Chains A and B, each alone.
Chain A
Amino acid sequence: MRDPALSRPPDTALSVRARGIEKRFGSFSALRGVDVDIPSAHLLVVLGPNGAGKSTLVRIVAGLLRPTAGTIEFGEAHPEKCRNVRGQIGFVGHATMLYPELTARENLVFAGRLHALDNPAERARELLAEEGLEAWSDRRAQTFSRGLAQRLAIARARVHDPRVLLHDEPFTGLDGAAAERLAERLERLREDGRSLVLVTHDFRQASRLGDQALLLANGRVAYRAEAPLPSASELDEISRHEAARA
C-alpha cells in the first residue's frame, strides 16, 4: 500500500469524465443529462441555487450514489463502477463523517486504516500539522466547533492522498484564515496534478480558483465557462439570471 509521503505529485494523472448523468428520486428528477469533464491539474467549480442538484452530482461522482442513467469514466480505464477507483477519491460532504467520541487524531488514524495506509499514525500527525489542528489533536471531535470540525473533515478526505478530490461547500463555517488556507491548499493540490471539484456559493473563491465553472439549475447545466472565469460579481449575476429562468 502507498507510503503516505505527501505533497508528491501522483504518478499518473487521473481525469474524470461524466456523460449523461441522470438521477431520479421517484418521480423527481434531480439531474437530467449532465456532462462533466475534469482533466487532471484542473479545478471545476460547480455553482447553482439550492436544490439544483449540485450535491447529488458530487455524490454520484464520488461513488456514494448510483446514477439512474449515465456513465462515469476515470482516467484511461473504461467505465467501471466507482468501486475500483474508490481509493483515488476524496470527498468532503455536508456532514463531517467524524466520530464524536474519537479524538481528532483517532479519527484520522481510523480513516487512514480504512484506506489501508501503511503508517496511519504518521499520516495523521502530518495532516494535523498541515491543517493547524495540532492543539486539538487529542481532543474529542464532539468538542469541536463547526469550523474546526470542517477543517478536520477536510483533512480526513486527504488521508489517502487521493487524485480526485470532491468538496461540497467546504468553506461553510470556516473563518477568514482557515478559508484562505483552504484556498491555498486547493491551488497547490491542483498544481500537483489532481482533479478537483468544488461546489460553492462563494463566488469570490469560485472566480479565483476555478479553471472551469458549471452552473446547475433544475438538474441541468445552465451555463459553462472556461478559464479565465468571469469575476465574482459577474458569476453572481449569471447565477441569479439562470435561477430566475429555471
Chain B
Amino acid sequence: MNEISDRDLELSFADKLDRAARPLGWLLAVLAIVYAWTVAMAPIDSIQGPIQKILYVHPPLAYGAYLGFVVTAFGGMMYLWKDQENFDRLAIAGAEVGLLFCTLMMVTGPIWARGTWGHWWSWDPRLTVTLLLWFIYLAYLLLRAFGDAGPRTARFGAVYGIVGVLLIPLNYYVIEIFGSRSMHPENLERGSLGDGMGLPFLLGNLTLGVAFVWLLVRRWQVENLRAIAARWGRPEEDLQ
C-alpha cells in the first residue's frame, strides 16, 4: 500500500515539471525564431565579417554554462541538508545542461577566434576559466557515472559540487591576476556593439536564458521518471 502512494507522489512531481515545461517550450520556440531572424538581419560587421555574429550566441551561453554548476552545487547542498533524492536529481540535471552550454561555448569561442584573428585558441582568462569549468563538469559526471547508483554516490557528487562551485571564483581570481603573466597575453578583442547590434544581443540573452531553464526542467523531469522506472518499473500511463 505504502509503495503505491510513494510512486504516485513521485509521478505527480514529474507531472508538475512537465506542466511547467510546456509553456516554456512554446515561449522558447517563439523566441528562437525571432532571435534567429534578428541575428540574420543584423548588420554585418565591417571589420570582422559575418563571423562576428557568433558574438550574439557565445556570451549568452555563459549564463547557462556557469549557472548550470551553481544549480548542481545548490541541488547537492540541499540534498545533503534535506536528504531528499529530488534535489540530487536537480543536481544531475544542472550538470548535464551546464555541460552542454559550456561545450557550446568552447566550440563557438574558437570558431570566432579563428575567424577573426586566425588562432583557434588563446589563454585569455575568460576562455581559460571556461575550459577549467568544462573539466569540472566532466569530472563531476564521471564521478557519478563510476559510482554505484546509490545515495553514497549522490553524496559524493554533492561534495564535489560544492568544491567545484568554489573553484569557479577561485580560478577566475587566480587566472586574472597570475595567469596572464607567464602565459601569452593575447587579448580577445570584444568588439563594441554598434548600431543594430543591441537587439539581437538582448534577444540572445533572453532566448538562451529561457532555453537553459526549459532544458533544466525537462532534464529534471527525465531524471525523476528514470528514478521512478528504476524503482517501480515503467509507469503504465504514458507521460507526454
Contact = CB atoms under 8 A, between A and B. Distances in A.
Q: Do A and B come from one complex?
A: yes
Interface of A: 24-27, 33, 66, 68
A66 B231 CA distance: 18
A27 B230 contact: yes
Contacts of B149: 26
Interface in B80-100: 83
A27 B151 contact: no
A26 B230 contact: yes
B229 to A, nearest CB: 10
Contacts of A26: 148-150, 230
B150 A25 contact: yes
A109 to B, nearest CB: 30
A26 B149 CA distance: 7
B147 to A, nearest CB: 12
Contacts of A25: 150
Contacts of A33: 2
9 contacts: A24-B231, A25-B150, A26-B148, A26-B150, A26-B230, A27-B230, A27-B231, A33-B2, A68-B151
Contacts of A24: 231
Interface in B119-157: 148-151
Given A26-B149, A33-B2, A66-B151, 9 more contacts: A24-B231, A25-B150, A26-B148, A26-B150, A26-B230, A27-B230, A27-B231, A66-B83, A68-B151
B154 to A, nearest CB: 11
B187 to A, nearest CB: 51
Contacts of A68: 151
A26 B231 CA distance: 7
A27 B150 CA distance: 10
A27 B148 CA distance: 12
Nearest to A26: B149
A27 B7 CA distance: 13
A68 B83 CA distance: 10
Contacts of B151: 66, 68
A27 B83 CA distance: 19
B218 to A, nearest CB: 24
A71 B67 CA distance: 36
A27 B231 CA distance: 5
Contacts of B148: 26
A214 to B, nearest CB: 21
Question: Which 8 residue pairs spanning A and B have beta carbons closest together?
Answer: A26-B149, A27-B230, A27-B231, A25-B150, A26-B150, A66-B151, A26-B230, A24-B231
Contacts of B231: 24, 27
A33 B155 CA distance: 24
Nearest to A22: B2
